[in-house]
A and B are shown apart, each in its own frame.
Chain A
């Protein structure tokens, strides 16, 4: 009796391990190849993401309510199908590894693609994007570290395209493409 019970436990444990291992593998594969979920930190994309992120002494103000210990970050869905052929278009919000630190992942808006000429704001300079590179900028140009400081980045650093805001529930929406006029000169 005792023996058979122990045997049963062992086989249950084995099944549980196998199931969790398999689901882990499935989750990893999906997040690598198709889509993944990630939080957005910081205010560099301000009107698009984290727009009700007004933290004050650990409290968040949402509408008129003051909520404590609330995680105000937006969470987004990042799709990876575009990495198959590196097909991106102007105005996409993209996720990429920082060119100065490979461990940091940044979210910015794609302004220009290879071959475009970009006007730099507040100056008369123009930059020609070399082949295989792109120009990224945050929506909140006052507090964003982007291509205006480090120049065009290789397309190979891109890790995916942001398509939806999925959390918090009242902010669920599609992320729109936005092309600012007058920045690009096509040749």
Chain B
């Protein structure tokens, strides 16, 4: 019995506790750095759906979006942005900015009918967003201009698929 107790006391508990604490701290610091860089600098996003078709594939592209330009108001016409959907706050949509505040935007209500033209002025503090694929996109043509505050970031780089690896140039869509 006393031998067992001796061995228990001999066991390097102190070193083990210290190692465990150090390991936890390293993981926690990594998570902290990840969270801060994800919210303030740059975030990865996966896109689904056909609404941006000629520019972004419908099978799930991995894009990098930078948060700084949205925060400092550097979003311009033609940029691809990620934004919270005004219809469902838990959904993030990827669209292209077609008009900033004060712009006159002309769009087709029904993409098949060339005569169904409509023109609106974007109100103060709002942006007009549209998908590149006008036939299937659910965008500002349906719910109107969205407040700038819903914009989460500007997509600037494509990581996956590898054959399209590279930066997304603004306004590349005709």
A25 at the interface (CB under 8 A from B): yes
B85 interface residue (CB < 8 Å to A): yes
Take A25-B36, A29-B35 as given contacts and tell me if A99 and B125 are in contact as well, using a CB distance cutoff of 8 Å.
Answer: yes
Q: Mark A142-186, 1 if CB is under 8 A from B, else 0.
A: 000000000001111110000000000000000000000000000
- Residue A131 contacts which of B33, B87, B148 (CB distance < 8 angstroms)? B87
Q: Which residues of the partner chain A approach B148 to less than 8 Å between Cβ atoms?
A: 101-102
Find out whether the CB atom of B84 lies under 8 angstroms from the CB atom of A154: yes
Contact code string A13-39 (vs B, CB < 8 Å = 1, else 0): 000000000100110110011000000
Interface centre among B83, B90, B147, B148 (most CB of A within 10 A): B147
Measured CB to CB, the closest approach of chain B to A18, in angstroms, equals 10
Cα distance A74–B151 in the bound complex, in angstroms: 30
Contact size range, A:
20 to 34
A100 and B33 CA atoms in complex are apart in Å by 32
B118 at the A interface (CB under 8 A): no
Across the interface, name the chain B residue whose C-beta is closest to A105. Answer: B149
Q: By CB atoms of chain A within 10 A, which of B32, B147, B148, B149 has the most?
A: B149
Contact bitstring B112-130, A, C-beta under 8 A = 1, else 0 = 0000000000011110000
CA of A26 to CA of B32 in the docked complex: distance in angstroms?
7
Is A156 within 8 A of B89, CB to CB?
Answer: yes
B residues 115-170 near A (Cβ < 8 Å) are 123-126, 143, 146-151
Contact A156 B84 (CB under 8 A): yes
What are 14 inter-chain pairs, A to B, with CB distance below 8 A? A25-B36, A29-B35, A33-B35, A98-B147, A99-B126, A100-B147, A101-B148, A103-B73, A131-B88, A132-B87, A154-B84, A155-B89, A156-B84, A157-B149
In the assembled complex, A81 has its CB within 8 A of some CB on chain B: no
With known contacts A97-B147, A99-B125, A99-B126, A154–B35 Cβ distance under 8 A = no
Given contacts A86-B90, A99-B125, A157-B149, contact A132 B85 (CB under 8 A): yes
Cβ B90 vs Cβ A154 within 8 A? no
B125 lies within 8 A of A98 (CB)? yes
Chain A residues whose C-beta falls within 8 Å of the C-beta of B73 in the assembled complex? 102-103
Closest to B87 in A: A132
Instruction: Please report the C-alpha to C-alpha distance between residue A130 and residue B86 in the assembled complex, in whole angstroms.
Output: 10
Question: In the complex, which residues of chain A have a beta carbon less than 8 angstroms from the beta carbon of B36?
Answer: 25, 28-29
A133 at the A/B interface (Cβ < 8 Å)?
Answer: yes
Complex Cα spacing A132 to B90, Å: 9
Task: Please tell me if the beta carbons of B32 and A25 are within 8 angstroms of each other in the complex.
Answer: yes
A90-130: contact bitstring with B at CB < 8 Å (1 yes, 0 no)?
00000011111111000000000000000000000000001
